[in-house]
Every structure is written in structure tokens, then in C-alpha cells.
Amino acid sequence: MQKKKDYSGTAIFTKSKPLKVTYGMDEERNSEGRMITLEFSDFYVVTMYTPNSKRDLSRLEERLEWEDLVQGYLDKLNQKKPVIFCGDLNVAHTELDVKNDRANQGNSGFTQVEREKMNGLLDLGFTDTYRYFNPARDDQFTWWSYMKGVRERNIGWRIDYFIVSTSFMNTISNSDIHDHVYGSDHCPIVLELSK
């Protein structure tokens, strides 16, 4: 990946000191600062900003390669201890996750192959926590274009996620979207653990 200073970095602020902090999956694939992993005694926390495939899909192939690497990385972590995976994944997984699903078919972030990559991740033993608690909800999104009136009319996409190891779901009490919070083209998402 090409290095783009101050473009796609991630950060985690925590009150609990992790056992270990890892940047990227390895040195070769950390040039854009897209991923951070914190290891705690009972689980991992991974935050990531997924590469966008671009409007003309010119970065789609690179993005799909990234997805394969991420799935392998998360699967390896999940075999050691549960994983909490979060961030802007730049994909609306189902028709419920984008306001105008028919009009957006094939668009960046809503191509069939990007959506299938999300299916592949979930099939590895992970759960989309928001969808678990809100299986049919189709009116909450996490991102809106800056075009005039789009947010006010709630023409959005749900592209930010908390995805956790399915084995860890018994510790999750809620997953929510705070779409009433303004200040960015994205809004905060929240995951609550019961212990």
C-alpha cells in the first residue's frame, strides 16, 4: 500500500493498559496506519479503516486482497482468544444497511464481491453485533454524504461496525448507533459489554 500521511490513520484511547500493541498486520502492510491491535488478558481489540475501492472501482482488486489478509489475521487471533473488531469497514453488508439499495447496487462499498467478503468474515466465527440486536432495522446508518440535505433526510449507509467473535457474544449486552451525534460525516457507534 502506498503511504499517505495523515489520510487513513487510526487511534485507540483506553483506560486499561493492554498487554501488547501492534500496528498493522506486519511491517509491510502498515504504511497507511490502517490497523491497530490491542491485546488484553481475555480478548483482542482490533480497529481498522478499510481501503475504499474508489468511485470508479479502480482500487477494488487491492481492497479485496486486503480483505483476504484481514480475514486471515483475524482468524489467527480468534484461535487464541476472542476478538472485538471495529472501525470503518467501507461496506454496507446488506440491503438494510444502505438507504437506496437498488440505486447503489454495484457502487463502491455495495458491490457483490465486497458484500461477499463480509459474509466470508462472519462465516469464520464472527458476529455483526448491531445486526444481532437489530435484525430487521433499516433506518439507522453511520455515514452520510456531505451533499446538501442528505443527513437531514437520513440517506445514509451503515459502514461502521463492531464485529466480535461469536464465542464472545455472551458478554455483549448492546450494540448501538448514536446517529443523533453530529460533527462528522460519520457518527459514533457503541458496544457495551456486560462484564
The mean pLDDT of 22-45, rounded to a whole number, is 83
56 is catalytic: no
Name the band, by pLDDT with cuts 50, 70 and 90, for residue 180.
Answer: very high
Name the band, by pLDDT with cuts 50, 70 and 90, for residue 108.
Answer: very high
Other C-beta atoms within 10 Å of 82: how many? 19
- 6, 23, 42, 88: which one is catalytic? 88
- 49, 73, 130, 161: which one is catalytic? 49
Q: What is the pLDDT of residues 114-173, one digit of tens each?
A: 999 999 999 999 999 999 999 999 999 999 999 999 999 999 999 999 999 999 999 999
Name the band, by pLDDT with cuts 50, 70 and 90, for residue 28.
Answer: low
Q: Which residue has the cell 448501538?
A: 176
3-class secondary-structure state, position 102: helix
| Residue 29: per-residue pLDDT | 57
The mean pLDDT of 57-78, rounded to a whole number, is 95
3-class secondary-structure state, position 192: strand
Contact 78, 60 (CB under 8 A): no
Is residue 27's pLDDT more than 80? Answer: no
Q: Which residue has the cell 490502517?
A: 34
49 is catalytic: yes
> Bridge partners of 143?
157, 186
| Residue 25: per-residue pLDDT | 85
Is residue 33's pLDDT more than 70? Answer: yes
Residue 126: CA count within 13 A, CB half-sphere: 27
Is residue 6's pLDDT more than 60? Answer: no
Helix (H) or strand (E) holding 49, with range, is strand 44-49
Contact 36, 10 (CB under 8 A): yes
Q: What is the DSSP string of 128-172?
A: EHHHHH-TT--S--SEE-SSTTTTTTT-EE--EEEEEEGGGGGGE
Contact 85, 126 (CB under 8 A): yes
Instruction: Choose between 135 and 9: higher pLDDT.
Output: 135
Distance CA 127, CA 91 (A): 15
| Residue 142: per-residue pLDDT | 98
Is residue 8's pLDDT more than 90? Answer: no
98 closest CA partner among 162, 185, 159, 35: 159
